[in-house]
Amino acid sequence: MSKTVDMQAITVPNLLTYFRMAASFVLLYFGILGRWDVAYPVFLAAAATDLVDGTIARVLRQRTRLGAFLDPVADKALMFASFITLTTAGFIPLPVTLLVFARDVLISVGLYILKRSRVAIVYQPTYLSKLTTFFQILTVFGAFTRTQDLPRARAFFGDLPYDTLWAFALAITTVLTAVTAVQYVRIGWGMFQSKN
């Protein structure tokens, strides 16, 4: 039994997931110190592992229950560390971060209530929830980019209205996060009612 668990724990996709979890703490540490020259590359490396670990798991046929559990945990840890550090430094507005965290807490509490009520949880991510995740990641990436001095990029894009685009991205993230929070409540309530 222990050998099976050990083999599941050391697959290539799981090693990438472990790296992403460790990178979250490294990012949090250096971000709090304001060392964006370290935190930014760490974020990029961690985000890259998230893009490839699923593909590697399929190609190498190394999907495991442990990996299925740890992957979303690692994703949340990376996003949590990113939002915390970037908000503390003033690169992401506090209300946006509070809304993102409140949505995650709402989902977690809802799942707990449904499980305690012995409701069968059958759910597929909606288009809006996937879009929300995309814009949240885009917001974090944009905020990290703002921590860097990118003269070459500015020279290439010329007079691109960075502040306007940034405000627009934040607005979309905020609206989508709020809308999907309501959406999750409706879906959860529907599951709860279907039991009765």
Asked whether residue 159 carries a pLDDT value surpassing 60, the answer given is no
pLDDT at residue 3 greater than cutoff 50? no
Q: Please report which residue ranges of 60-149 form alpha helices under DSSP H.
A: 65-88, 94-116, 127-146
Q: Each residue of 26-41: pLDDT tens digit? A: 999 999 999 999 999 9
- Domain ranges, ordered by start, for the chain: 1-80, 90-196
Which sign, positive or negative, has the C-alpha torsion 176, 106, 182, 90?
negative
Q: At what angle do helices 162-195 and 94-116 cross, to 10 degrees?
A: 10
Are 93 and 87 spatial neighbours (Cβ–Cβ below 8 Å)?
Answer: yes
The pLDDT of residue 24: 93
Both tokens of 27, joined, read: 């990012």
pTM of the model: 0.80
The listed range with the strongest mean pLDDT (15-24, 50-59, 85-94, 137-146) is: 85-94
* Lowest mean per-residue pLDDT among 12-21, 92-101, 126-135: 12-21
Considering the chain, what percentage of its residues have pLDDT values greater than 90?
A: 33
Q: Kindly indicate the confidence band of residue 87, based on its pLDDT and cuts at 50, 70 and 90.
A: very high
Residue 189 pLDDT level (bands cut at 50, 70, 90): confident
Residue 124 Cα distances to 28, 121, 152, angstroms: 31, 10, 42
19: left (phi over 0), alpha (psi -120 to 50) or beta: alpha
Residue 142 pLDDT more than 80?
Answer: yes
pLDDT of residue 5: 44
